[in-house]
């Protein structure tokens, strides 16, 4: 095998030369050519030649949310080597292929090098000044003509917490909620589903906590490829005897380790989970005490589950009764047991309902809030959790504060600006409080007739700020929208497929952003641990950090001063530590307040002191803390809260990481109590029953108000624990052993959702037409996230005769996300050089295609994808599987010539999303990427 050739392989690269030549060889060669009269005898003042300065920078892998540490060895500003951080409690010296090759980003063979503009179909170099002024002028004109909502800003789950926060602030001060990022299309359904059930939208335990599990159900999750180092922790549990159940339509690399593998028909997860619960309830395996004390609405679930008798479950899911029962028994009788899910669960038009069914399953078994249990939701990008927590979400300000007037006032105070000034930036107060357009649908907001778009104008410009377009479905529609825009801007270390797919001859700008290794800041792993990344190298070429670019544009657009009111700026770069301190002062809701830059840096420096099973520091300056202060890390940094390693764990005091379920929905519903039962409370709590969230009134009623300092009382008056900027209410509540957010029951019935109890609904594009009438989808919606959204009218069309195969998609170990970065990395590109489609031998025989031959995958949208056949029994008859990281081809054509010179990734291929069909979750607008139909044609 030879290394994949890149278009920039010829010629000696400056950095490689510096490293490869070395000082000694260079000095020797130079000495030969010195004239004799400059050669002087050595003196004591100059004993040895200067040696390069070598230092180790501590950073975090940029390719998934496991959060593996990387030790980058830097010599004279050149990144020369990397080590896998043996003292990190997360990766303990291990890396997968992606993590082991991150140093390549420090060389940037395929990176954007300077700002560019598309002129007559060719990218031309421009200066930063020209770029900021020209784009800025166009934005100001757009704003004047159509208002601020004519712009869509698609942010990144790869931005640090500070950059994500600053981008949400930037969009707010521009005057819009039209911002979004990757989480919309990977785990928005998880966030909504678990938050509405338990209280917070995040993984409950940690990868390390799996050491305690006695059984784990992996459903719609393939961590052996998607989160490889997380498997280190699970396999440790397996060695100790933990049972492993894998539910997936495809026999994955994870399934290979399973004690029990269940092959399920895609899109039938709720029926399967209810099938498991049917056996659990029928055998009395549920935790009755836990259900009675800590849940609301389980009886409604029992009624729905009773309908899912084994015969019905088998008919709908394709799983034999014995197999469903075995999965249920393994999980229920080997406790504590954990459930792990990923995009096989979330990326469906019923994604939020899927998530809730699994959340309920864990409540029925009493597995939430216990060591070795939990709902463990592995996220995909390095900071997708953090960007969700504090970043550019169209329905919320940082910290899940929402966008109602109170939330805007809270942030206006924190930002040091007038609420009325912020309001004046928006088209109207109504638009200020209306959720924005999502990344999954932005192109519909360009193409749709304006009378159906729930804002004054269509979108006219888009910023793709660190986001891959090929990670979104319906690419032909996106391409049509790109052509209709006034202009679009790509801000990214790599050109991304956006640069090549649009088919325009002008109106496209490419701005080179620094990578994660060329800046510093904090990043939140999937388990809520926050890690500090040091800057490894200075930005390459003419790249700038994202926060500098935000500041430059804010200055040009007239709100530079407001953007950084409380933040120092050095050489146009807002100081990252100051941004984090602003997050610390504002995001009380999720406890991003105790994690000061100083505490996070100390954790990174003393990783070795943390126990890899408990994640707690056993010695050293962080003693007692949990690694990365997993949020909520309550109160001010001075309170020294240790972080919360397991959510909703009653066994510890709140001050030491314990928590009940959150009281977020009132005290009762339909006459049933929503607060926890008597006797259900966190260790050492002075209130021994359920209680509501803390505010100034409750504190006074309890007689605890006097425990606030006089200064705190001034700030806390009229406020609750989320809006009291002194942090006093939180401090006093925790001093009495109570959770600031109250002590409630988890909700099995979420009455404000389309399906209060999750209900199986057939996929929109399904081969089982016989089930459509019995399990229909939702009615079409007129205005949902500002757009009409179709359900029944899509499902009404029968595509199954012309497109007989089920199509699904997933992740590979070699690549990540849209894949542009990793497919530009020659070490990874070497490993997986072709886009392919897995097809069962029987289906391959039908069209006469053999392993390695090309074939067309045709879908109901009219799209055709040319890909290599991977003939394998991993997939069942009637189903094909494709990875989603490829891009750079368009229905058979290689787009290489459309990229800026030298910027095309080393490996290109068809994007599976070119062919994907319509479908969106009924709560979050998550796109459907796991069930559709296609047919195969030999190429």
The answer to whether the Cα torsion of 499, 502, 506, 508 is positive or negative is: negative
Report in angstroms how near the CB of residue 61 gets to ligand SF4 at its nearest: 3
Binding segment toward ligand SF4, per CB under 6 A, in 90-98, 343-351, 567-575, 831-839: 90-98
Question: Exactly one of 58, 143, 227, 325 binds ligand SF4 (CB under 6 A); which one?
Answer: 227
Residues in contact with ligand SF4, shown as a per-residue x/- string from 34 to 73 under the rule CB under 6 A: ---------------------------x-xx-xxx-----
Nearer to ligand SF4, 196 or 252 (CB): 252
Nearer to ligand SF4, 528 or 866 (CB): 528
Binding segment toward ligand SF4, per CB under 6 A, in 18-26, 88-96, 353-361, 467-475: 88-96
| CA distance linking residue 337 with residue 243, whole number of Å | 9
Q: 897: which residues sit within 8 A by CB, 6+ positions away?
A: none
Binding segment toward ligand SF4, per CB under 6 A, in 226-234, 300-308, 536-544, 732-740: 226-234
> In 3-state terms, the chain is what percent helix, strand and coil (to 5)?
35, 15, 50
CA-nearest of 240, 186, 181, 245 to 211 is 240
- Burial zone of 618 (CB within 10 Å; 0-12 exposed, 13-18 middle, 19+ buried): exposed
Binding segment toward ligand SF4, per CB under 6 A, in 94-102, 733-741, 803-811, 912-920: 94-102
- Residue 235, both tokens: 């396999």
Nearer to ligand SF4, 68 or 210 (CB): 68
Nearer to ligand SF4, 227 or 866 (CB): 227
CA-nearest of 272, 276, 242, 275 to 257 is 242
Nearer to ligand SF4, 95 or 866 (CB): 95
Nearer to ligand SF4, 207 or 799 (CB): 207
Given a contact cutoff of 8 angstroms between Cβ atoms, the answer to whether 52 and 80 are in contact is: no
Nearer to ligand SF4, 99 or 909 (CB): 99
Binding segment toward ligand SF4, per CB under 6 A, in 93-101, 263-271, 452-460, 675-683: 93-101
Nearer to ligand SF4, 68 or 216 (CB): 68
Report in angstroms how near the CB of residue 871 gets to ligand SF4 at its nearest: 28
Given a contact cutoff of 8 angstroms between Cβ atoms, the answer to whether 108 and 906 are in contact is: no
| CA distance linking residue 474 with residue 912, whole number of Å | 10
Report in angstroms how near the CB of residue 607 gets to ligand SF4 at its nearest: 15
Binding segment toward ligand SF4, per CB under 6 A, in 75-83, 225-233, 255-263, 765-773: 225-233
| CA distance linking residue 633 with residue 642, whole number of Å | 6
Report the residue closest to ligand SF4, judged by CB. 99
Report in angstroms how near the CB of residue 62 gets to ligand SF4 at its nearest: 7
Question: Exactly one of 229, 271, 482, 828 binds ligand SF4 (CB under 6 A); which one?
Answer: 229
Given a contact cutoff of 8 angstroms between Cβ atoms, the answer to whether 500 and 55 are in contact is: no
- Residue 389, both tokens: 């927590």
Residues in contact with ligand SF4, shown as a per-residue x/- string from 798 to 827 under the rule CB under 6 A: ------------------------------
Q: 242: which residues sit within 8 A by CB, 6+ positions away?
A: 210, 213, 214, 215, 216, 234, 334
| CA distance linking residue 856 with residue 864, whole number of Å | 6
> How many degrees, rounded to 5, is the angle at CA 809 between CA 808 and CA 810?
145
Nearer to ligand SF4, 91 or 190 (CB): 91
Given a contact cutoff of 8 angstroms between Cβ atoms, the answer to whether 727 and 720 are in contact is: no
Report in angstroms how near the CB of residue 667 gets to ligand SF4 at its nearest: 42
- Burial zone of 64 (CB within 10 Å; 0-12 exposed, 13-18 middle, 19+ buried): buried
* Residues within window 865-904 making contact with ligand SF4, judged by CB under 6 A: none
Nearer to ligand SF4, 228 or 660 (CB): 228
Nearer to ligand SF4, 67 or 374 (CB): 67
Given a contact cutoff of 8 angstroms between Cβ atoms, the answer to whether 181 and 156 are in contact is: yes
Binding segment toward ligand SF4, per CB under 6 A, in 224-232, 590-598, 632-640, 777-785: 224-232
Nearer to ligand SF4, 99 or 758 (CB): 99
| CA distance linking residue 687 with residue 294, whole number of Å | 16
Report in angstroms how near the CB of residue 59 gets to ligand SF4 at its nearest: 11
Given a contact cutoff of 8 angstroms between Cβ atoms, the answer to whether 58 and 523 are in contact is: no
Q: 15: which residues sit within 8 A by CB, 6+ positions away?
A: 78, 106, 107
Binding segment toward ligand SF4, per CB under 6 A, in 92-100, 293-301, 733-741, 802-810: 92-100
Report in angstroms how near the CB of residue 644 gets to ligand SF4 at its nearest: 22
Report in angstroms how near the CB of residue 226 gets to ligand SF4 at its nearest: 8
Report in angstroms how near the CB of residue 475 gets to ligand SF4 at its nearest: 25
Report in angstroms how near the CB of residue 100 gets to ligand SF4 at its nearest: 7
Nearer to ligand SF4, 228 or 493 (CB): 228
H helix and E strand count, the chain = 32, 34
| CA distance linking residue 41 with residue 30, whole number of Å | 17
Nearer to ligand SF4, 230 or 861 (CB): 230
Report in angstroms how near the CB of residue 111 gets to ligand SF4 at its nearest: 20
Binding segment toward ligand SF4, per CB under 6 A, in 222-230, 473-481, 601-609, 738-746: 222-230
CA-nearest of 318, 79, 104 to 906 is 104
- Within a 13 Å sphere around the CA of 199, how many CA atoms are in the beta-carbon half? 31
Report in angstroms how near the CB of residue 92 gets to ligand SF4 at its nearest: 11
Report in angstroms how near the CB of residue 72 gets to ligand SF4 at its nearest: 14
Rounded to 5 degrees, φ, ψ at 161 are -55, -40
Report in angstroms how near the CB of residue 371 gets to ligand SF4 at its nearest: 23
Binding segment toward ligand SF4, per CB under 6 A, in 174-182, 223-231, 397-405, 898-906: 223-231
User: What DSSP state is assigned to residue 675?
Assistant: B
Report in angstroms how near the CB of residue 825 gets to ligand SF4 at its nearest: 12
Residue 835 sits in the site that holds ligand SF4 (CB under 6 A)? no
Given a contact cutoff of 8 angstroms between Cβ atoms, the answer to whether 243 and 214 are in contact is: yes
Given a contact cutoff of 8 angstroms between Cβ atoms, the answer to whether 738 and 686 are in contact is: yes
Residue 265 sits in the site that holds ligand SF4 (CB under 6 A)? no
| CA distance linking residue 614 with residue 608, whole number of Å | 13
Q: How many Å is the Cα radius of gyration of the chain?
A: 27
- For residue 142, the SS3 value is helix
Report in angstroms how near the CB of residue 886 gets to ligand SF4 at its nearest: 18
Query: Binding residues for ligand SF4, how many (CB under 6 A)?
Result: 14
Given a contact cutoff of 8 angstroms between Cβ atoms, the answer to whether 582 and 567 are in contact is: yes
Residue 228 sits in the site that holds ligand SF4 (CB under 6 A)? yes
Pairing of strands 215-219, 337-341: parallel
Report in angstroms how near the CB of residue 380 gets to ligand SF4 at its nearest: 9
* Residues within window 167-186 making contact with ligand SF4, judged by CB under 6 A: none
* Residues within window 95-124 making contact with ligand SF4, judged by CB under 6 A: 95-96, 98-99
* DSSP per-residue string spanning 187-219: THHHHHHHHHHTSSSS-SS-TGGGGG-SEEEEE
Nearer to ligand SF4, 383 or 809 (CB): 383
| CA distance linking residue 482 with residue 554, whole number of Å | 24
| CA distance linking residue 231 with residue 68, whole number of Å | 13
Given a contact cutoff of 8 angstroms between Cβ atoms, the answer to whether 223 and 231 are in contact is: yes
Residues that bind ligand SF4 (CB under 6 A): 61, 63-64, 66-68, 91, 95-96, 98-99, 227-229
């Amino acid at each position: 095998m030879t290394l994949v050739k890149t278009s920039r392989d010829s010629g000696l690269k400056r950095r490689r030369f510096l490293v490869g030549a070395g000082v000694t060889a260079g000095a020797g060669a130079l000495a030969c050519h010195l004239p004799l009269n400059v050669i002087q005898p050595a003196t004591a003042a100059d004993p040895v030649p200067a040696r390069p300065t070598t230092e180790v920078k501590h950073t975090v892998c940029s390719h998934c949310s496991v959060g593996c540490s990387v030790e980058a060895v830097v010599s004279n500003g050149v990144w020369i080597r990397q080590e896998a951080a043996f003292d990190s409690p997360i990766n303990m010296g291990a890396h997968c292929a992606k993590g082991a090759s991150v140093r390549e980003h420090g060389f940037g063979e395929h990176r954007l090098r300077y700002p560019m503009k598309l002129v007559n179909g060719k990218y031309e170099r421009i200066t930063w000044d020209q770029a900021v002024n020209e784009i800025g002028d166009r934005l100001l004109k757009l704003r004047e003509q159509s208002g601020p909502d004519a712009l869509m800003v698609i942010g990144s789950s790869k931005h640090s917490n500070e950059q994500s926060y600053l981008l949400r602030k930037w969009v707010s001060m521009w005057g819009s909620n039209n911002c979004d990022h990757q989480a919309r299309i990977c785990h928005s359904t998880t966030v909504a589903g678990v938050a509405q059930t338990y209280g917070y939208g995040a993984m409950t335990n940690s990868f390390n906590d799996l050491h305690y599990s006695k059984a784990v159900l992996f459903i719609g999750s393939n961590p052996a490829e998607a989160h490889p180092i997380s498997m280190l922790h699970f396999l440790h549990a397996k060695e100790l005897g933990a049972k492993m159940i894998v539910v997936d339509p495809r026999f994955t690399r994870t399934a290979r380790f399973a004690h029990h593998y269940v092959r399920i028909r895609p899109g039938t997860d709720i029926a399967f989970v209810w099938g498991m619960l049917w056996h659990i309830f029928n055998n009395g395996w549920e935790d009755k005490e836990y259900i009675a004390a800590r849940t609301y609405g389980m009886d409604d679930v029992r009624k729905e589950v009773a309908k899912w008798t084994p015969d019905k479950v088998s008919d709908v899911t394709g799983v034999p009764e014995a197999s469903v029962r075995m999965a249920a028994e393994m999980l229920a009788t080997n406790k504590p047991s954990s459930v792990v899910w990923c995009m096989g669960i979330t990326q469906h038009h019923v994604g939020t309902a899927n998530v809730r069914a699994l959340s309920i399953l864990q409540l029925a078994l009493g597995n939430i809030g216990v060591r070795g249990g939990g709902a463990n939701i592995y996220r995909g990008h390095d900071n997708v959790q953090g960007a969700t927590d504090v970043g550019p979400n169209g329905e919320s300000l940082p910290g899940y504060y929402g966008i109602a007037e109170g939330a805007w006032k809270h942030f206006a105070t924190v930002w040091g600006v007038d609420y009325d000034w912020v309001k004046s930036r928006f088209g109207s107060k109504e638009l200020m409080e209306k959720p924005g357009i999502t990344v999954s649908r932005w192109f519909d907001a360009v193409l749709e007739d304006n009378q159906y778009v729930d804002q004054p104008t269509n979108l006219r410009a888009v910023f793709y700020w660190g986001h891959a377009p090929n990670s979104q479905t319906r690419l032909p529609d996106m391409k049509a929208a790109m052509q209709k825009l006034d202009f679009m801007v790509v801000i990214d270390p790599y050109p991304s497929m956006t640069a090549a797919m649009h088919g325009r001859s002008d109106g496209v700008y490419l701005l080179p952003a620094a990578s994660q290794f060329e800046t510093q800041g904090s990043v939140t792993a999937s388990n809520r641990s926050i890690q500090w990344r040091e800057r490894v190298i200075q930005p390459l070429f003419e790249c700038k950090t994202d926060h500098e670019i935000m500041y430059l544009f804010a200055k040009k657009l007239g709100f530079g001063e407001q953007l950084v009111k409380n933040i120092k700026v050095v050489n146009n770069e807002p100081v990252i530590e100051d941004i984090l301190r602003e997050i610390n002062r504002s995001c009380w809701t999720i406890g991003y307040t105790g994690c000061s830059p100083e505490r996070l840096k100390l954790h990174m420096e003393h990783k070795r002191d943390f126990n890899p099973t408990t994640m707690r520091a056993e010695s050293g300056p962080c003693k007692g803390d949990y690694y990365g202060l997993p949020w909520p890390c309550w109160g001010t940094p001075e309170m020294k809260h240790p972080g919360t390693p397991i959510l909703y764990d009653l066994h510890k005091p709140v001050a030491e990481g314990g928590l009940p379920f959150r009281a977020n929905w009132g005290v009762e519903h339909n006459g049933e109590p929503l607060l926890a039962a008597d006797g259900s409370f966190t260790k050492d709590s002075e209130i021994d029953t359920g209680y509501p969230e803390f505010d100034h009134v409750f504190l006074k009623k309890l007689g605890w108000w006097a425990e606030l300092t006089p200064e705190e009382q001034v700030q806390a008056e009229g406020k609750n624990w989320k809006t009291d900027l002194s942090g006093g209410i939180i401090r006093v509540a925790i001093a009495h052993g109570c959770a600031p957010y109250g002590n409630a029951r988890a909700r099995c019935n979420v009455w404000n959702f389309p399906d209060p109890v999750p209900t199986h609904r057939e996929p929109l594009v399904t081969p089982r037409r016989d089930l459509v009438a019995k399990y229909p989808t939702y009615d079409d919606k007129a205005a949902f996230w500002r757009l009409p959204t179709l359900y029944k009218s899509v499902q009404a069309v029968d595509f199954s005769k012309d497109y007989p195969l089920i199509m699904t998609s997933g992740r590979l170990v070699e690549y990540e996300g849209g894949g542009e970065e990793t497919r530009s990395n020659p070490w990874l590109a070497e490993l997986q050089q072709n886009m392919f489609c897995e097809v069962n031998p029987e289906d391959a025989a039908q069209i006469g295609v053999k392993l390695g031959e090309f074939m067309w995958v045709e879908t109901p949208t009219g799209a055709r994808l040319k890909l290599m056949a991977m003939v394998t029994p991993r997939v069942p008859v009637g189903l094909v599987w494709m990875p989603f990281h490829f891009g750079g081809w368009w229905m058979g054509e290689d787009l290489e010539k459309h990229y800026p010179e030298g910027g095309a990734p080393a490996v290109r291929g068809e994007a599976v999303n070119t062919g994907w069909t319509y479908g969106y979750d009924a709560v979050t607008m998550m796109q459907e990427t796991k069930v559709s139909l296609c047919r195969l044609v030999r190429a």
